[in-house]
């Protein structure tokens, strides 16, 4: 069986000594300073002279900055993370000019992620120990899982989250990944809020609602934070307590999604999902918190890269495909389908669970796309229709399909089925 060679980041928690923590904190500050200086220089050059500054030019600027008395402290930390910061800025500008991202923003001491990237010349990995440049002893890493056999890290990224936890991420080439044995199983998935996922097999995966479960604890921590004086040590401690609650929510959500996606990829050859635009769905303010807690975008991302690793296929059907209103038995489409209708009966006599029926229609549409290579339906043009950007099933999706007259006359422009 052919082995898949991919680069994977293995993330571990570590506990630095006081000297190591101080050194890394200085490095984080210097990385942020260099990034902001280079961004300011490039912005000024373009604004005043319409001149683009390259990475090589900013690298020369860094050398000059180190020779000034004001920025001489940049020599106290390893030069590699500073050079990597310039490369990250170059990548940010490349994405901006390619219209893949917005204009780079300045890093904030309080809000931006604290991290530093080391290449092979700035660390030593030997016999399961990792020693960074400017440090005399290795990091105390908790090896929660082993690295692939024979793996050698190409880059090491050290970071500290808002809760004060330290992490190290090792980027390695994993040669142990192998495609799973082929199977004929295929499954359609309908995302929702009452149930996180509904499968075409009829299985419904419960939505854990991690954010809602910790809402009381989070509110209590935020109230305590609001009472602390700004700039005080007590406020910093209270802020860290709030961050720990958020970290707990994020960790549990990520763990749950990893377990679900791993099972789906392991058991199915073809997985069909909807092409949801979560960014637009979040504009529905009454449901924004619940949609964020469901983490549909993270679910899709995990599903796609795991499918690529293990030789599976993920198909995304158009978000405007009328999966809820379409009878999976006879193909008839209802005119309306209010959210409170969870089961309905078609004229052909079929009784449908709303979510299961949607998942089955999504599966059928995805298999049709896979067979003929065509899209499920033309893309909608919001600028011409001027309709809501939230998820709905438009009249154009039902052209040429028999219509079953429904009694309900309720607006269905909602992102949740």
Is residue 347 part of the annotated active site? The answer reads: no
Find out whether 147 and 172 touch, Cβ atoms under 8 Å: yes
pLDDT at residue number 373: 57
The active-site residue, picked from 174, 274, 293, 393, is 274
Query: Catalytic pick from 190, 194, 304, 381?
Result: 190
Per-residue confidence (pLDDT) for residue 403, from 0 to 100: 37
Q: What is the mean pLDDT of each run of 10 residues along the chain (417 residues)?
A: 76 96 96 96 92 93 94 95 97 94 93 94 92 94 90 94 95 87 92 91 92 92 95 94 95 96 95 89 87 92 93 89 83 78 80 87 86 49 40 40 36 38
pLDDT of residue 258: 96
pTM for this structure? 0.81
Q: What is the pLDDT of residue 178?
A: 86
pLDDT tens by residue, 36-51:
999 999 999 999 988 8
Which one from 23, 117, 293, 355 is the annotated catalytic residue?
355
Q: Is 190 a catalytic residue?
A: yes
Q: What is the per-residue pLDDT for 88?
A: 97
Q: Which of 176, 180, 197 is nearest to 188 (CA)?
A: 197
């Amino acid at each position: 069986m052919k082995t898949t060679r991919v680069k994977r980041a293995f993330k571990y928690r570590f506990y630095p000594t006081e000297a190591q923590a101080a050194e890394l904190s200085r490095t984080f500050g210097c990385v942020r300073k260099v990034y902001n200086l280079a961004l300011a220089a490039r912005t000024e050059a373009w604004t005043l002279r319409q001149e683009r500054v390259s990475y090589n030019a900013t690298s020369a600027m860094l050398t000059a900055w180190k020779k000034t008395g004001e920025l001489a402290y940049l020599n106290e930390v390893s030069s590699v993370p500073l050079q990597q910061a310039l490369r990250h800025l170059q990548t940010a500008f490349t994405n901006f000019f390619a219209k893949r991202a917005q204009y780079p923003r300045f890093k904030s001491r309080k809000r931006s992620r604290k991290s530093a990237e080391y290449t092979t010349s700035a660390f030593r990995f030997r016999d399961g120990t990792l020693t960074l440049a400017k440090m005399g002893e290795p990091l105390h890493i908790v090896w929660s899982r082993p690295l692939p056999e024979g793996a050698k890290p190409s880059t090491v990224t050290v970071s500290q989250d808002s809760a004060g936890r330290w992490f190290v991420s090792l980027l390695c080439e994993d040669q142990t990944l192998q495609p799973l044995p082929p199977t004929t199983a295929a499954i359609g998935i309908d995302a929702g809020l009452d149930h996180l996922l509904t499968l075409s097999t009829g299985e419904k995966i419960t939505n854990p609602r991690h954010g809602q479960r910790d809402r009381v604890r989070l509110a209590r921590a935020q109230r305590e934070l609001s009472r602390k004086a700004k700039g005080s040590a007590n406020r910093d401690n209270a802020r860290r307590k709030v961050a720990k609650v958020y970290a707990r929510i994020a960790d549990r959500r990520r763990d749950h999604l990893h377990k679900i996606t791993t099972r789906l990829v392991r058991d199915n050859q073809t997985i069909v999902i909807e092409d949801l635009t979560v960014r637009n769905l979040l504009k529905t303010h009454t449901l924004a918190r619940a949609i964020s807690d469901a983490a549909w975008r993270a679910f899709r991302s995990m599903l796609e890269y795991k499918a690529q690793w293990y030789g599976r296929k993920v198909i995304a059907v158009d978000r405007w495909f009328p999966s809820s209103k379409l009878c999976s038995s006879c193909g008839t489409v209802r005119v309306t389908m209010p959210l409170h209708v969870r089961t309905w009966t078609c004229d052909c006599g079929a009784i449908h669970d709303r979510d299961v029926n949607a998942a089955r229609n999504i599966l059928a549409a995805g298999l049709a796309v896979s067979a003929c290579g065509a899209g499920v339906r033309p893309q909608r043009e919001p600028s011409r229709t001027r309709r809501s950007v939230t998820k709905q099933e438009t009249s154009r999706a039902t052209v040429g399909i028999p219509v079953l007259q429904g009694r309900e006359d309720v607006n269905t422009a909602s992102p949740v089925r």
